[in-house]
Chains A and B, each alone.
Chain A
Amino acid sequence: MDVLFDIFGSANFWAAAIRIATPLIFGVLGALICERAGVLNLGIEGIFVAGAMAGWLAVYLGAGLWGGVLVAALTGAAFGLLHAFLTVVLGLSQHVSGIGITLLATSASYFTYRTALPDVSSPPRIVPFQSLDLAGLSDLPFFGPVLFSQTALTWLALLLVALVAFVLYRTPLGLSIRAVGDNPASVEAQGLSVIGLRIGAVVVGSALMALGGAFLTMSAFDAFFFGMVNGRGWICIALVVFASWQPGKALLGALLFGAFDAFQIRLQAEIGQVVPGQVFLMLPYLLSILALVLVARKADYPRALLQPWTKGQRH
């Protein structure tokens, strides 16, 4: 019990939980926007990879850190546009297109990395985002190290949660986006373009997913590794269901997940001699599956999710 108390009482633990949650916050928000508009985006895993690689490479080649963030977002948006063209404009299978985008974005990233840096044996490093210490607040007991050891990208993620929630629930645009995933006919009846709204949502959502990847190479680490995304995108798809497609719950889900992951890492240090390390590494995936199974029955999927729309379609 002392072990548990030590873990949960330490500021380090909570700081790590928020750090681990950050890429997931970006990813879940991105997936949430797409799905709210009626489009499942299984390209997320590859878009994470592409964002991680493109942002990092831009900085490595001389761009500023925020320039790298912009490059990552644009890369994600480009893959989002392709997904939107295939699934929204042509009305093709969202599952197959998403898997295709993941394969394409991943292989394009790996190919570009290998081609841009043919002779490196160990991954080159950049100077990543540093922790954002607002007016010396990091000296505060407990909350100081937890909150003010985080980088600007974490704060951006938290800000985006509020922004997405505001847009979705408090603006006419948000109302249209939600309607386009629930009852597209009502949107068209208002004279708005279902196709246009869906394309916009998928592009913006994909840009956010790419920021999740960029966080990995530009804040959590300082280099790009093959396989570094490691299923984080798929976990986000599960977390969206867990969060009932709501930004606030998405933040909560990502933080819970981060806390759990930080906990298993510390538990590993305590009892790693008895239990093989892989058991701990499996836990995040198993937890995601469990979360999905538990909430699936009650899950209130956007009603038009996966359903293509043709202009002028009746019913």
Chain B
Amino acid sequence: MSLRLEPREHAPLGLRLLVSLLAGAIALLFVAIPVMAAGANPCEAYVLMAQGAFGSMFALSETLNRATPLILTGLAATVAFRARLWNIGAEGQLYMGALAAVLVGSGFLQLPGPIMIPAIMLAGFLAGGLMMVVPTMLKQRFGADEVVITLLLNFVVILFIQMLIEGPLKDPLSMGWPQSVPLLAEAKFDKLVPRLRTHWGLIIGLVSALLLWLMVKKTVLGFEIKAVGENKPAARFAGIPVDATMLKVALISGGLAGLAGVGEVAGVKGYLSADLSPGFGYSGIVVAMLAGLSPIGSVLAAIFIAAVFVGADSMSRATGISNYLADLVVALSLLCVLVGSFFLRFRLAPANPKVEA
């Protein structure tokens, strides 16, 4: 009996989970090749990575700390990709969010303590959101492709940030290091556990995932996003305000990435610098795809990616293998889950099914 590919209507949850798990696992297996090329034993490297990511309370805290911005940039990509809005600019949006947090939270504005944290979050959300709303409007008004524009804006934003932290926002007490003035104490996120770096940003990420899930499943906007993402002309024909929906998606998507930047400034660094994000925006795309664009799944995928980074750093210190190994795993995960999506769209079926009467 020969087999042929047959399109499927709907992929069951179990299969989708299996595809994501296998994609991560296969990506990890693939990097055994570069590990061996670097002259190390892959099994030992995996054990060191696992210990580095989960082996102690400290390791676990570092992994969750790293996962915090990834949850938010993952959700940013999730909501945008669901509407087929290609937001590849989360990196820039993250930095704009961080910048807004510093502008509002470092004493330029006199705000009473209790509203400080909501204020920097709102400012960060709006700043990040605006960075995505503008390219979306350029797409709607001029037909300009948002992929290239958001990609190019990442470079513009990082230069803009460098200009500010070497200029008007420069911390006079930083001994010449290019970093911004620090946040006020009342604008900083508390740690979740004393002496560990995990902070309230993690809770913000988890709540955002839950809210996004509710929005996708239960609200009119969620339905509109699904309709726009599946078939734009049909959605327009059905009377769905396509342009307005896309702008809302852009605001939410950029805003979530902006919140990631707020968390890094308010929860981790305390100030803005040009090395705030080691590519959290780009990794967010991988998180979203690995999660199959599921908001809840994004949390799990973010923890996986974070564990790879934290584990690889630790393994790198022990063995001398370059920690760019983590970036390799992340890239391979994306390609593996993409191949996996093929099996969600098609199934194997007998080549010549009997014609039923």
Chain A residues engaging chain B, CB cutoff 8 angstroms: 42, 82, 86, 90-93, 95-97, 99-101, 103-104, 106-108, 110-111, 114-115, 118, 230-231, 234-235, 237-238, 241, 276, 278-279, 281-282, 285-286, 288-289, 292-294, 296-297, 299
Cβ-neighbour of A293 out of B37, B138, B282, B330 (below 8 A): B138
Q: A107–B328 contact, CB under 8 A?
A: yes
Complexed CA–CA distance, A103 and B160 (Å): 24
Q: Does B339 contact A (CB under 8 A)?
A: yes
Question: Which of B152, B166, B282 gathers most chain A CB within 10 Å?
Answer: B152
Quote the shortest CB–CB distance from A204 to chain B (angstroms): 22
In the bound complex, residues from chain B placing their C-beta under 8 Å from that of A230 are 155
Q: With contacts defined as CB atoms under 8 Å apart, how many contacts are there between chain A and chain B in the complex?
A: 127
Complexed CA–CA distance, A82 and B342 (Å): 15
A-contact bits for B166-197, CB 8 A (1 contact / 0 none): 11000000000000000000000000000000
Q: Does B136 contact A (CB under 8 A)?
A: no
In the bound complex, residues from chain A placing their C-beta under 8 Å from that of B331 are 100, 103-104, 106-108
Q: B335–A110 contact, CB under 8 A?
A: no
Q: B159–A281 contact, CB under 8 A?
A: yes
A111-B341 in contact given A234-B151, A292-B144 (Cβ < 8 Å): no
In the bound complex, residues from chain B placing their C-beta under 8 Å from that of A235 are 152
A96-B334 in contact given A103-B282, A111-B324, A238-B152 (Cβ < 8 Å): yes
A299-B338 in contact given A99-B88, A110-B324, A289-B153 (Cβ < 8 Å): no
Cβ-neighbour of B145 out of A91, A100, A241, A294 (below 8 A): A241
Complexed CA–CA distance, A238 and B138 (Å): 14
Quote the shortest CB–CB distance from B84 to chain A (angstroms): 9
Give the secondary structure class of B's interface.
Answer: helix
Complexed CA–CA distance, A172 and B155 (Å): 41
A108-B152 in contact given A118-B320, A292-B144 (Cβ < 8 Å): no
In the bound complex, residues from chain B placing their C-beta under 8 Å from that of A297 are 142-143
Q: Does B318 contact A (CB under 8 A)?
A: no
Q: A92–B338 contact, CB under 8 A?
A: yes
Q: A103–B330 contact, CB under 8 A?
A: yes
Q: Does B127 contact A (CB under 8 A)?
A: no
Quote the shortest CB–CB distance from A38 to chain B (angstroms): 16
Complexed CA–CA distance, A136 and B334 (Å): 53
Q: B332–A234 contact, CB under 8 A?
A: no
A97-B152 in contact given A111-B328, A292-B144, A296-B144 (Cβ < 8 Å): no
A238-B148 in contact given A99-B88, A100-B334, A282-B159 (Cβ < 8 Å): yes
Q: B142–A111 contact, CB under 8 A?
A: no
Q: Which residue of A lies closest to B326 (CB)?
A: A107
A115-B34 in contact given A95-B86, A282-B159 (Cβ < 8 Å): yes
Q: B338–A100 contact, CB under 8 A?
A: yes
Quote the shortest CB–CB distance from B302 to chain A (angstroms): 16
Complexed CA–CA distance, A97 and B331 (Å): 10
Q: Does B240 contact A (CB under 8 A)?
A: no
Complexed CA–CA distance, A278 and B155 (Å): 11
Complexed CA–CA distance, A204 and B135 (Å): 32
Number of residues from B at the complex interface, CB < 8 A = 45
In the bound complex, residues from chain A placing their C-beta under 8 Å from that of B103 are none
Complexed CA–CA distance, A292 and B143 (Å): 9
Complexed CA–CA distance, A68 and B331 (Å): 26
Instruction: Beyond A111-B325, A234-B151, list 19 extra A-B contacts (CB 8 Å).
Output: A82-B335, A86-B338, A92-B339, A92-B341, A92-B342, A96-B285, A97-B338, A101-B335, A107-B328, A114-B322, A114-B324, A115-B321, A238-B152, A278-B159, A285-B152, A288-B148, A292-B148, A293-B149, A299-B143
Q: B145–A292 contact, CB under 8 A?
A: yes
In the bound complex, residues from chain B placing their C-beta under 8 Å from that of A82 are 335
Cβ-neighbour of A288 out of B152, B166, B321, B338 (below 8 A): B152
Q: A103–B286 contact, CB under 8 A?
A: yes
Q: Does B224 contact A (CB under 8 A)?
A: no
Q: Does B234 contact A (CB under 8 A)?
A: no
Question: Which of A42, A82, A100, A278 gathers most chain B CB within 10 Å?
Answer: A100
Q: Which residue of A lies closest to B151 (CB)?
A: A234
Cβ-neighbour of B34 out of A95, A106, A111 (below 8 A): A111
15 A–B contact pairs at CB < 8 A?
A: A97-B338, A99-B88, A100-B331, A100-B335, A100-B338, A101-B335, A104-B335, A110-B322, A114-B322, A231-B152, A231-B155, A276-B166, A278-B159, A282-B155, A289-B149
Q: A104–B332 contact, CB under 8 A?
A: yes
Complexed CA–CA distance, A106 and B325 (Å): 11
In the bound complex, residues from chain A placing their C-beta under 8 Å from that of B210 are none
Q: Does B147 contact A (CB under 8 A)?
A: yes
A-contact bits for B130-141, CB 8 A (1 contact / 0 none): 000000001000
Q: Which residue of A lies closest to B152 (CB)?
A: A285
